[in-house]
Each structure stands twice: as C-alpha cells, then as structure tokens.
Amino acid sequence: MPSYESIFVCPPDLPTEELDELVKKFEKIITQGQGEVISCNKLGRRKLGYEIKGYKEGFMYCLNFNSPSSLVSELEKNYRVTDKVIRHLIVKVDEKKLKEKKVTSEESKDEKEKESPSSDV
C-alpha cells in the first residue's frame, strides 16, 4: 500500500476536545477503509503565511498513513465538508526518499554525538 502524508489546519479558537474528536474521526475513516495510521503529530498553533477564511493563525495536524489510493478521495471529501478544517493537503510519500532521509538523519545524529564531548564535571 502506498504511504501518504496529510496536513490539515483548524481554526485556533476550537477547544482541545473538538480537535481531538476531529483527529479521531479522520483516523477512523482511514482505518475503516483498510488503511493504517502510522503517526499523528500535533504541530500546534502556527501563524499562517496568509489569511485563510479570516484566520491569521491555525492549529495544525500531520497524519502519516498507508492506504489504498481510493481512500484518499474519501478523506479529501471529508476534509472539504468539515467546517472545522480551513485548509488541507494530502501528498503521496516516496518510499525511497523516506528511507534515504532516515539513513541521513541517523548518520548526522551519530556525527553530532561524536562531536559533542561528554563532560564529567
């Protein structure tokens, strides 16, 4: 199954309970469509690059998931009809680039550990 990454932005004035409920709804759509949620990252409240529907800030979430390609259109439809989502984006993640990124990040982490001497003070 292909991997996807979805980022959606909600209004900053929504209560935390509603935000959590919204995330669970989208995760449920993915799992019911024979998909698998890999991770859900709360990116927090961010200033937007430009005003969207009257908001200068938004609360952002990032969902990483594996699913059949037919599920993407269903998820996008749900984003569009949900009033609490002011902007969304779904992109297909290239598996090769993802593996390369993991390898390079692990190498840089190892180099940083070698460079920073541990102090015994």
Q: Higher model confidence: residue 62 or residue 98?
A: 62
Sequence spans of domains, the chain = 3-115
Distance in angstroms between the alpha carbons of the first and the last residue of the chain: 51
Question: Is the per-residue pLDDT at 112 higher than 80?
Answer: no
pTM for this one? 0.73
What kind of fold does domain 3-115 have according to CATH?
A: Alpha-Beta Plaits (3.30.70)
Quote the DSSP letter at residue 67. Answer: -
Compute the C-alpha angle 39/44/47, nearest 5°.
135
Position with higher pLDDT, 22 vs 101: 22
How high is the pLDDT of residue 86?
93
- pLDDT tens digits for range 58-77: 999 999 999 888 899 999 99
The runs of H, that is alpha helices, within the chain are 16-32, 69-81, 95-115
